Amino acid sequence: MMLFSGGAVVTMDPTIGDLDSGDVLIRGDRIVAVGPDLRSHPDAAGATVVDTTGGIVCPGFVDTHRHAWQAQLRRSIPDVNDLGEYVMSTLAGVAPAYTPHDMYVGTRLAALTALDAGITTMLDFSHNSRSAAHSDAAVQALIDTGIRGVHASMGPHFGDWDRQWPADLVRLREKFHGANGDLVTVRLAALATDEIAGPALAYGPELAAVARDIGIGVSIDAVFGESSSAAIERWATDGLLGPAVTLIHATGLTSQAWKTIGATGTTVSLAPTSEAQIGLETAVPAIDEALAVGVRPGLSIDVEVALASDMFTQMRALHAIQRMRAVHCAYGTDKPVGHRITTRDVLDFATAQGARTNGLGDVTGSISPGKQADLLVVRADDVNTMPLNDAVGTLVLGADARNIDTVVVGGRIRKAAGRLVDVDIDDLRRTVTASRDSIRASVGG
């Protein structure tokens, strides 16, 4: 039993609300109770008390799409100009050199970085599954870090591989789905169309049947423009959309495609810095389009080879871009300023909606009794967060990874007193550097 006591509590559960000062009681891997003072709660007797005075307790962040295997090459192409440059440099140029060991090292580094920055759930869009061993290494890295990991498996775009995918998903689900105390889930990953890597990786009836037959969700990347809009209409006609399907990016889609997404309850993952910085289709995160059809999206990191690794950056980028658009559309005209999203909106996208997007809405994403204990303690009395005036505003606009004192996943502490638990950083550094150097030597870089 653990009792987090004395700090502000942002639950992201509309039935409970927020507490200026409150307690969260955990038994095993579950949240038992949330309230102003739980010291007299029957289950609190003998609980380990974690003093959160001066801090904020909030749900862990949820990353709905990250290509984790690339982490040892992070920021190697920081000024990449477009999707084509990324595809040719990373997916065609570097990915074929990865061994299963490199997959493990990159995925572990990404997962540890996520935990350090308060991301308790990460969907690893693992699109370098060159062999069963590559996939197993990626999932084992999720298990070894203790993150709530969603392994979304896809065959590689280029180079030689065993062609074991998608058939290998049956084995992956049997071996790993529910592993590590139900922290691991498995999904099918695919592309929207055949424009980048051919028809074998493009979502359609065959891949949908694979996912349906083994009972897993689907995450679809590279959802852009008119070709993806047409694909969305085909999928809807064929009954291939719904809450178990996630469309990633969704930039430049037609209004009819968006109506179809909303009508089918299909989920959406936005990658705010990826859309804007790399310049994906319109280069504008499709937040207004999503909200207009009743879709509240999850947020994601995407590719660390070019982008930031943390959810604070995604929340702030989306918040700023959407509000800029809302005001800019009226500039120089007599149009009223459009609706502006709030800090609570983007925190909702980064927590509860991210969990729902990953198919885990009943498991995590809010501090609610009965849900898994995935939560953070964020210091609100540090130099960059003091004094605490608005907890949600502080989480979204003031805090960063240095302020995260404690990270809990499934009731287990993964970061304490501002440091990752049971992680030898010096050994990690040596392993990551050696893997990077080996990859570069293989490709002549």
Q: What is the pLDDT of residues 400-431, one digit of tens each?
A: 999 999 999 999 999 999 999 999 999 999 99
- For 252-304, give the DSSP string: T--HHHHHHHHHHT-EEEE-HHIIIIII-TTSS--HHHHHHTT---EE--B-T
pLDDT, position 338: 84
Q: Rounded to whole angstroms, how far apart are CA atoms 397 and 314?
A: 11
Q: How far is CA 52 from the centre of its chain?
A: 26
Q: Rounded to whole angstroms, how far apart are CA atoms 315 and 350?
A: 7
On whether the CB atoms of residues 97 and 61 are closer than 8 A, the answer is no
pLDDT, position 172: 98
Ramachandran category for residue 359: left, alpha or beta (phi over 0 → left; psi -120 to 50 → alpha): left
Question: Taking 80 as the threshold, does the pLDDT of residue 372 lie above it?
Answer: yes
Instruction: Please state, as a whole number, how many other Cβ atoms lie within 10 Å of the Cβ of residue 443.
Output: 12
Q: Please report the domains of the chain, with CATH numbers, ordered by start residue.
A: 2-59+363-420 (2.30.40.10), 61-357 (3.20.20.140)
Question: Taking 90 as the threshold, does the pLDDT of residue 444 lie above it?
Answer: no
Q: What is the pLDDT of residues 303-345, one digit of tens each?
A: 999 999 999 999 999 999 999 999 988 887 878 888 999 999 9
pLDDT, position 171: 98
Percentage of the chain lying above the pLDDT 70 cut: 100
User: How does the average pLDDT of the chain come out, rounded?
Assistant: 96
Which letter, b or e, does each residue of 109-127 get, where b requires 16 or more Cβ atoms within 10 Å of its Cβ? bbbbbbbbbbbbbbbbbbb
Band (445; pLDDT cuts 50, 70, 90): low
Q: How far is CA 365 from the centre of its chain?
A: 11
| pTM of the predicted model as reported, rounded to 2 decimal places | 0.97
Q: What is the pLDDT of residues 132-168, one digit of tens each?
A: 999 999 999 999 999 999 999 999 999 999 999 999 9
Q: Rounded to whole angstroms, how far apart are CA atoms 183 and 347?
A: 22
Tokens 């349906």 belong to residue? 212
- Mean pLDDT, to the nearest integer, of 97-110? 98
pLDDT, position 12: 98
For helices 132-145 and 168-176, what crossing angle results, to 10°? 20
Q: Which of 38-42, 64-68, 142-146, 273-277 has the lowest mean pLDDT?
A: 38-42
Question: Taking 70 as the threshold, does the pLDDT of residue 90 lie above it?
Answer: yes
On whether the CB atoms of residues 169 and 153 are closer than 8 A, the answer is yes
Q: What is the pLDDT of residues 202-241, one digit of tens each?
A: 999 999 999 999 999 999 999 999 999 999 999 999 999 9
How much is the CA Rg of the chain, to the nearest whole Å? 21
On whether the CB atoms of residues 299 and 270 are closer than 8 A, the answer is yes
pLDDT, position 305: 97
Indicate the length of the chain as a whole number: 445
Q: Which two tokens stand for residue 194?
A: 């055949």
